[in-house]
Chain A
Amino acid sequence: MLLIAPTGAGKTLAGFLPALTDLAMRPKRKPGEAHRGVHTLYISPLKALAVDIERNLSRPVVEMQLPVSIETRTGDTPHHKRQRQKLAPPDILLSTPEQLALLIASKDADRFFADLKYVVLDELHSLVTSKRGHLLALGLARLRKLVPSLQTIGLSATVAEPDALRRWLVAQNPPGNMAALITVAGGAKPIITILESEERVPWAGHSARYAIVDVYEAIKAHRTTLLFVNTRSQAEFLFQELWRVNDDTLPIALHHGSLDVAQRRRVENAMEANALRAVVATSTLDLGIDWGDVDLVIHVGAPKGASRLAQRIGRSNHRMDEPSRAILVPANRFEVLECRAALEANYLGAQDTPPLIDGALDVLAQHIMGMACAAPFDAHALWQEVRAAEPYARLDEAIFVRVVDFVATGGYALRSYERYARIRQTKEGLWRVSHPRYAQQYRLNVGTIVEEAMLNVRLIKRGGRRGAMGGMTLGKVEGGFVESLTHGDTFLFAGKMLRFEGIRENEVYVSNAAGQDAKVPSYAGGKFPLSTYLAAEVRSMLANPKRWQALPEQVAGWLEMQKLKSMLPNAADLLVETFPRGKRFYMVLYPFEGRLAHQTLGMLLTRRLERAGARPLGFVATDYSLGVWAHGDLGAMIASGELSLSALFDEDMLGDDRDAWLAESYMLKRTFRACAVISGLIEKRHPGKEKTGRQVTVSADLIYDVLRTHDPDHILLHATRADAAAGLLDVRRLADMLSRIRGHIVHKPLDRISPLAVPVMLEIGRESVKGEADDVLLSEVEDDLIREAMS
């Protein structure tokens, strides 16, 4: 059954009602009688959500004096408790997809789940779109095999296509089978405003520093405020800035996924006890967590997808009958446009959940290994079981067999590993694990989340000896961020100003650096592209001066200036401006397709410009526009017909150029790395020692290069390409855009920079070069040194 209801409708509790009723009627276990298995399994995408549900569900259960035990089981659950749970399972187990994978891969899975009646899947709409969703779908298929009478209950926010979720919830035999659907109509409309500030809205940047005082006043005027931002560094920055102006010392806290678990729990508990006036948070607090009495949500930065916005606004006033209140704080002028569009989209109830994609083969490989760990399996029977899961309903048996072969011997064309097989066929034809240590390896590496290497941040005394014992752990930061630091650099983390002292193994040593100016980590942004819908809205707003009345005066004025100095494109057109500046020639375009898509476009455009003899030097992408610069006079070349815009933006750039570029690209290597780790080719963790992400990266790149040359048809390369094609939303976005703008490219030659071009031009120099320019960078280092030596 699929239950769709807006946030605040109480759907989680509703999801448990059948289970609670059933449990209340159940006769008591007599002393001496064997422990019963789990009755109801609840799966959520977030550990924090499971913990939160435990709190919210225990209260009514205790009040009603129901004889029901409720426990969580997540990655944070101590070993002894997990052991105990296996012997004496709780009636209701609250868990995550990874824990389910581990449970079904154990030898006593059939006993543990023998009494299972219900599976409740929370926030289903957000689970199903990822590889975690694939893992969960496979786990569910196994549960259905263990308990054919199993009932699934899916809980979801409003989605565009509920039928996809309905199929997902039930066995796909016959194909197309759908779960029943219950839809609860939306509650009171939220009241959303865009922050009106007297201050000047900046042209570029993501800090929203200009609005801090206004934001602080809003916090003061409400009981409890949740402040959402898009990245961790924005959260740190906003937190710091708020405390700078916090003259009333209001209790304002910080919460993001990189912080130490103990610190996060403290904030969550304080929040529940209504002891906080505001919490600055990233997506860790994003999903339906119900804490405290929030009466205002402030969103800083562009909210990107409209359904993200809806989700986040659902946080305030968790009651159906009262409207939620939210304030959007755009950090720059383009974000003003985007916020306006998002606001109108929310009133229209527009939804944009990404479409479901077919199950990934690397996840399947992991599952196959897990099933061998549980018990020897018959390949044909397992294929049929797996096909009952919606994401794998269209899986070919031949492909399945290749994945089994991959799990066994690596699946290489050069068949030299038969004697090292991890799973082997018995005389009866069943596949079984060939050595217990492979089962141990599987258990250590289960899951589909492949993160960048994270380093522990440890606070020591300034100048203190690294590697000395002690020092408080503040949380974790990405290796990529740390490597840009040198000794003595300062940065914001865990709400503190820190000084970088050094790295040792997987620990970063820092000391307090109060009172200094931070070298704020660069905005990693662009993770979330604008939804297609939102991008279209922004374009049509630009094209229609009547709609500018809804915009702040200075932003409307900016657009007026653009109209005067250059032009504003029609909603269907792509505007291409060219102008000289310094000794270079610039081309700026405004596709509004999101930063990732623009980066890809920039990469492909520079290739073509190179071939056309325009001598491109570089490019920079923002969420809204793309700037390319060259030695050659791009404007003159276009005007004279030497450079044809329609040829430059021809759709075939996604064919020939894309394939050539993609095969070499960092992006494909990273996709391969994820596939290699998930499929078990490379271990995240090895019994006894942890591999750091860096080591994984290096070897995965080497493996990719070797595999691509020597076994181009390998199943893992298929998986990688499928991921790249399906997962890389930006490439599809680009394809759609190229076909949309055919015949609609408008060139505007200018003799100077236009108002609309200012934001992207400000990014030049701030932005690090992306792409395949490693050799260029090395040669720059050499050239710097030569200049130094010669001057």
Chain B
Amino acid sequence: MNVANRMSGFVPRTGEITIAGQVALCDPRGALFLPHLNLLVVSDLHLEKGSSAARRGSLLPPYDTGATLDRLAAVIDDLRPSTVLSLGDSFHDDGGAGRMPGFYREKLLALMTGRDWIWVTGNHDPQAPVGLPGMVAEEIAIDGLRFRHEPSAGAQSGEIAGHLHPGAMVIQRGRAVRRRCFAADGDRLIMPAFGAFTGSLNVLDRAYHGLFRWERFIAHMLGNVRVYAIPGGRLRMG
């Protein structure tokens, strides 16, 4: 038995967490896996963000879609979910799916083959992605958990959302370490952004006010090989 189990979940050493009583695994690549549902959740892929910026004259590399899909493919390959749920802002804008180069489309379609796929709509992509299969929903409830893009105000038991791109910072030995994170308090969860070009917003920002029970808040920060659970008291703004 490892230290964490003996400590009744206070500092989980694995990426295992509970949300409103349900067990979920936080993958350090930024995806959430619900074993009993065989469901993989990713949020804020922001596919085609590079080409979206290019339209405005910022010629960012056009490879972000490829990088994001490669990482998603690796996660799917490891966990073999029967359902994938993309929790909104899957494309950076409504034209994204249409702009996606052919071979990236092929790559995505290959990932979708043989499993259920749910597109939850987000503020960046309020419409269903053009020309792609999969089910589309604004909000969906599965087995006592509610999935939606934007977190609803106030404490919401069992809600899993995205949108805010949570990130956290700690200072250790005079050095700041910033990472994307799963933001959770045992009742609700906000997913990190999965996209290759997505930035993050510190969980201490005003935007998170009132969403969590702070005394039980934990930022599950994404490390290179595992997730690190850091309680709210150790986090810093910046």
Contacts and interface: CB of A to CB of B under 8 A. Distances in A.
Interface of A: 409-410, 412, 414, 416-417, 420, 422, 435, 437-438, 441, 479-480, 482-484, 486, 503, 522, 681-683, 694-695, 698-699, 702-703, 705-707, 709-711, 714, 768-770, 774-775, 777-782, 785-786, 789-790
B196 interface: yes
9 contacts: A479-B238, A486-B236, A775-B228, A777-B175, A778-B221, A779-B223, A780-B172, A785-B230, A785-B234
Contact of A707 (B63, B221, B224): B63
A778 B177 contact: yes
A97 B101 CA distance: 42
B209 to A, nearest CB: 15
B175 A416 contact: no
A437 B55 CA distance: 12
A435 B177 contact: no
Contacts of A780: 172-173
Given A775-B225, A777-B177, A779-B228, A417 B62 contact: yes
Given A484-B176, A778-B170, A779-B228, A409 B64 contact: no
A477 to B, nearest CB: 13
B90 interface: no
B170 A768 contact: no
Contact of A786 (B7, B57, B174): B7
Contacts of B225: 775
Contacts of A410: 54, 59-62
A778 B179 contact: yes
B196 A441 contact: no
B61 A682 contact: no
A313 to B, nearest CB: 35
B66 interface: yes
Contact of A695 (B57, B59, B199): B199
Interface of A, helix, strand, loop or mixed by DSSP: helix
Interface in B51-71: 51, 54-55, 57-64, 66-67
B171 interface: yes
Contacts of A417: 51, 54, 59, 62
A409 B54 CA distance: 9
Interface in B34-89: 51, 54-55, 57-64, 66-67
Interface string B216-238: 00000101110011110010111
Contact of B236 (A422, A483, A705): A483
B11 interface: yes
A479 B237 CA distance: 12
A-B pairs, top 6 by smallest CB distance, nearest first, are: A410-B59, A768-B174, A710-B63, A777-B172, A778-B228, A420-B54
B10 interface: yes
A781 B67 contact: no
Contacts of A703: 60-61, 197
Given A769-B175, A777-B177, A420 B59 contact: yes
A777 B197 CA distance: 25
Interface in B170-197: 170-177, 179, 196-197
B11 A786 contact: yes
B178 to A, nearest CB: 8
B62 A435 contact: no
B199 to A, nearest CB: 5
Contacts of A694: 238
B57 A441 contact: yes
A706 B177 contact: no
Contacts of B176: 480, 483-484
B23 to A, nearest CB: 20
Contacts of A775: 223-225, 228
A483 B177 CA distance: 11
A414 B101 contact: yes
B61 A782 contact: no
A703 B175 CA distance: 23
Interface residues of B, number: 46
Contacts of B177: 774, 777-778
Interface in B1-55: 3, 7, 10-11, 13, 51, 54-55
Contacts of A786: 3, 7, 11
Contacts of B169: 483
Nearest to B58: A683
B61 A412 contact: yes
Contacts of B66: 710
A412 B60 CA distance: 10
B59 A409 contact: yes
B57 A422 contact: yes
Given A483-B171, A484-B171, A681-B58, 15 more contacts: A409-B59, A417-B62, A420-B57, A422-B57, A479-B238, A480-B176, A483-B236, A682-B58, A683-B58, A703-B61, A777-B177, A778-B177, A779-B223, A785-B11, A786-B7
Contacts of B230: 778, 781-782, 785
Contact of B199 (A698, A770, A774, A789): A698
A412 to B, nearest CB: 6
Contacts of B234: 781, 785
Contacts of B10: 789
A486 B174 CA distance: 12
B57 to A, nearest CB: 6
Given A410-B54, A706-B197, A775-B224, A769 B173 contact: yes
Contact of B57 (A437, A484, A486, A711): A437
Contact of B172 (A482, A709, A781, A790): A781
B51 A503 contact: no
Contacts of A698: 199-200
Nearest to B12: A782
A707 B57 contact: no
Given A414-B101, A785-B11, A786-B11, A699 B175 contact: no
A681 B66 CA distance: 20
B238 A435 contact: no
Given A483-B238, A695-B199, A768-B175, A782 B63 contact: no
Contacts of A709: 63, 67
Nearest to A435: B57
Given A417-B62, A699-B199, A782-B230, A789 B11 contact: yes
B76 to A, nearest CB: 19
Contact of B67 (A437, A681, A710): A710
B59 A681 contact: yes
A414 B232 CA distance: 43
A22 to B, nearest CB: 44
Contacts of A437: 57
Contacts of A714: 61
Given A769-B175, A777-B172, A420 B55 contact: yes
Contacts of B200: 698
A158 to B, nearest CB: 41
A699 B64 CA distance: 12
Contacts of A412: 61-63
Contacts of A438: 57
A770 B177 CA distance: 11
Contact of B173 (A695, A777, A790): A777
Contacts of A785: 11, 230-231, 234
A480 B230 CA distance: 22
A420 B177 CA distance: 36
B58 to A, nearest CB: 7
Given A775-B223, A781-B170, A706 B58 contact: no
Contacts of B171: 483-484
Contacts of A790: 3, 7
Contacts of B231: 785
A420 B60 CA distance: 11
Interface centre among B57, B61, B170, B196 (most CB of A within 10 A): B61
B62 A414 contact: yes
A706 B236 contact: no
Contacts of B59: 409-410, 417, 420, 422, 681
Contact of A781 (B13, B57, B198, B228): B228
